[in-house]
Amino acid sequence: MSAEATVEGLAKELSTYLDTNRINQVRRAYYYAEQAHEGQMRKSGDRYITHPLAVAHILADLRLDHQSLMAAMLHDVIEDTGIPKDALAEQFGDDVAELVDGVSKLTQIEFRSRAEAQAENFQKMTLAMARDIRVILVKLADRLHNMRTLGPMPYEKRQRIATETLDIYAPIANRLGMHSICTELEDLGFSSLYPMRSKYISKAVDKLRGSHREIIEEIRGKLQEKLEERGLPGRIQGREKHLNSIYNKMKFKQKSFHEIMDVYAFRIITDTEDDCYRILGAVHSLYKPLPGRFKDYIAMPKANGYQSIHTTLFGMHVNIEIQIRTEEMEHIANNGIAAHWMYKSDPSSVSNANQARVDRWVKGLMEMRERADDSLEFIEHVKVDLFPDEIYVFTPKGKIMELPSGATPVDFAYAIHTDIGNATVACRINRNLSSLSQPLQSGQTVEVITAPGARPNPAWLSFVVTGKARSSIRHVLKHQKRAESLELGKTLLKKSLKGFGTRLADIGDVQVQAVVSHNQVNSLDDLIADIGLGNRMAYLVARQLVTGAESSPIAEVAEEVHGSGENSPVTIRGTEGLLVRFASCCKPIPGDPVVGMMDSGKGMVIHSDTCSRLPEDDEGRARLTHLKWAKDIADEFSVELRVELERQRGVIAEVANAIAMADGNVERINVEEQNAKFSIVSLVLHVNGRRHLARVMRRVKNIRAVTHIGRVRH
């Protein structure tokens, strides 16, 4: 069949929903592409133009608009034939040129790794999607035709393309609600990656279908009878299980092939939403429904706009899965966002809500893209969002929020707004105070409690599940860490400069620039932040600033040991944040003499100055920072006590009570048995300084059974 005939075949298909003028524009794009690709062949030996034509056919099945079809014809022109975008814009208008540019295979830059190459491309794809969602529809059709014709490709390339399809393109098709394209991409990807497994499962499925035919026909007959008896319109279809989904269920849900296949699946398609619920009543009167297996996605559509009623029945000694939906829901379930163009003329249509959903998702992707530091981090966040198993929760005002399963109140807070997530301090689930890390269940009402000036907690990263929450928290923590490392670095540098009898303001720009270049950093701020992080020594930087960048490090350390102006201790408040930590070995509290030890990349760790973990030698001691406590510390600090006491009934409770009376807060009590008469108890409690600790110890000492009490310093 000549190419001429096939483009006419396409024109015939398009005439069912496009006017002649638009069909002629698509035809013109075809002839333009045919000329541009003249002489180019595909690996299969076909003329290259067969590929753009096939992509246009796929989009015509989805009934897409004429501009998308023109872009499908021209999508490889910029890349493969050197025709510039401007020339296309002149011929076919800006919209089409933009689409072609967006789809045009994302230029191959040299990347350090394949994962990064994909990630980089994915970022570009998101940008293109944000401008016009049709870009991704043309790209998906392009990928689908490439997957159908993978055969002649070399093995390595086949594996790479199939993996990328399963990792990125199939989930995107699913997220856009395009079920039929998604399942075909998955099955093609699966048979490319695992040809033997695919062949084996497909043979087993065919064999089983043969032996099940009678039961299927009998169930279908009974369902049909019941609908006719009640006068309900509805066509009943059998549903095929797809190879990839069978394989995944066997692999991840540890189910046997027969367990999966012993379920008989039907779909009933009817006229109106009202009929859906009547049919549900009818099938439930025919067979018993299985408890816990009913889902109403009509009232609560999935994130990708999918709507349907799902129920599982038990009849004729087998499980029967039934989906009930209207014709429009069926079309949207198969074609998702692409259905939008079919229903464009009807503004009340379901698919407009669908479009709003997709817009929201793409907007969310753009936000994450801005926050992620690199493309790999971005793709990690997005992969989480592409595989949602949704739960539905309510805001206190009754608005429904959809979240992936396993989502926590912190994910919920970020889903409402980034600022609300950042300021979250607590939450109520169904009006009761609850933990921020508790996974939410469908149907719960969630209320977030915020406080001005609150900040995300690094521990949240261990339990949040949405990409938006994870990227927002990381973003804030990075900025917070940067601000705090600058703050701490400045304090330490000022102190060291004071030892040299100078101030930062007194040092000239040329000298500062020389030190910055010598240390191979971009700016003085970067150098100061490095000091705060513990990656550089404040004394050495101060010395370079005072005496010039080229001084010898050995002389510096020697001189530092012999006196570097250690007369002015740095003040600490206990609330410095991420970069000042209290050592767990000696648990210092306000009032204890303390010193700071820099820990590379992590900031300063504060130890009691008698701690056994501190360096013994002069050089090591010289690197410590002398600290003093601020006057007005209100925070609580952890401290460990060792109490020896005579064994009596209720004596532990008495000790705990005495601590509570002195406003101490017990974190842990551990009884180390000694003998029949005496016990040794180790306590970890929170106090807000040495005076408070003395008060607690006095109270405990007053208990008659206590023979000795002391503070533990490891």
Among 38, 46, 76, 79, the one annotated catalytic:
79
pLDDT exceeds cutoff 60 at 562: no
Strand order in the sheet with 424-429: 432-434, 424-429, 446-450
* Residue 374 belongs to some domain of the structure: no
Domain of 667, CATH number, reads 3.30.70.260
- 664: in domain: yes
Which tens digits make up the pLDDT trace of 265-287? Answer: 899 999 999 999 999 999 999 99
Q: What is the pLDDT of residues 437-458, one digit of tens each?
A: 999 987 788 999 998 888 898 8
DSSP-assigned letter for residue 196: H
**Residue 44 pLDDT > 70, yes or no?**
yes
Strand partners, 446: 429
| Range name among 336-340, 459-463, 673-677 with the lowest pLDDT average | 336-340
Number of independent structural domains in the chain: 4
Residues 555 and 690 in one domain: no
Quick one: CA torsion of 293, 294, 298, 304, rounded to 10 degrees? Answer: -10
550-560 pLDDT, tens digit each: 543 333 333 33
Lowest-pLDDT range of 406-420, 457-471, 538-552: 538-552
Q: Is 359 an annotated catalytic residue?
A: no
Report the pLDDT averaged over residues 539-564: 55
Least confident of 6-15, 129-138, 240-249, 647-656: 129-138
Distance from C-alpha of 61 to C-alpha of 180, rounded to nearest angstrom: 11
Average pLDDT, the chain: 81
4, 8, 19, 80: the active-site residue: 80
With a cut of 50, say whether residue 106 has pLDDT above it.
no
pLDDT at position 403: 84
483 and 595 in a common domain: yes
Domain-ending residue, one of 319, 342, 365: 342
CA angle 106, 69, 188 (to 5 degrees): 60
Q: Could you tell me the residue range of the domain that residue 90 belongs to?
A: 3-196
Longest dimension (CA), the chain: 105
Respond yes or no: is residue 373 known to be catalytic: no
At residue 688, what is the residue type? N
Q: Which band of pLDDT confidence, cut at 50, 70 and 90, is reported for residue 379?
A: low
Angle CA 47–48–52, to nearest 5: 125
pLDDT band at 420 (very low <50, low <70, confident <90, very high): very high
pLDDT surpassing 60 at residue 108: no
Residue where a domain terminates, one of 577, 603, 629: 629
Confidence of residue 122 (pLDDT cuts 50, 70, 90): low
Alpha helices in 417-466 (DSSP H): 418-422
Please write the tens of the pLDDT for every residue from 592-637. 888 888 877 777 888 888 888 888 887 777 778 888 887 777 677 8
How high is the pLDDT of residue 391? 76
pLDDT-above-70 percentage for the chain: 84
Query: 346: pLDDT confidence band, cut at 50, 70 and 90?
Result: very low
Please say which residue of 584, 613, 629 terminates a domain: 629
| CA-wise closest residue to 556 among 502, 511, 499 | 499
**CA separation for the pair 94, 165 (Å, rounded):** 30
Q: Which residues pair with 237 in a beta bridge?
A: 267
- Same domain for 271 and 204: yes
Query: Residue 339: what pLDDT?
Result: 64
Whether 490 and 508 map to the same domain: the answer is: yes
On whether both 46 and 182 belong to a single domain, the answer is yes
Whether 186 and 217 map to the same domain: the answer is: no
Residues 618 and 666 in one domain: no
DSSP 8-state secondary structure symbol assigned to residue 165: I
584-to-516, 627, 659 alpha-carbon distances in Å: 35, 18, 21
| Judgement on whether residues 310 and 264 belong to the same structural domain of the protein | yes
pLDDT exceeds cutoff 70 at 564: no
Q: Per the domain annotation, does 310 fall within a domain?
A: yes
What spatial distance separates the first Cα and last Cα of the chain, rounded to whole Å?
A: 87
Higher pLDDT, 419 or 398: 419
Q: Are residues 241 and 130 in the same domain?
A: no
139 is a domain residue = yes
The size of the chain, in residues, is 714
pLDDT of residue 269: 94
Where does the pLDDT of residue 689 fall: very low under 50, low under 70, confident under 90, or very high at 90 and above? confident
In this predicted structure, the answer to whether residue 590 has a pLDDT above a threshold of 90 is no
Model confidence over 159-196: pLDDT tens digits?
A: 888 888 887 788 888 877 788 899 999 999 999 999 99
Characterise 316 by phi-psi region: left (phi > 0), alpha (psi -120 to 50), beta (else).
left
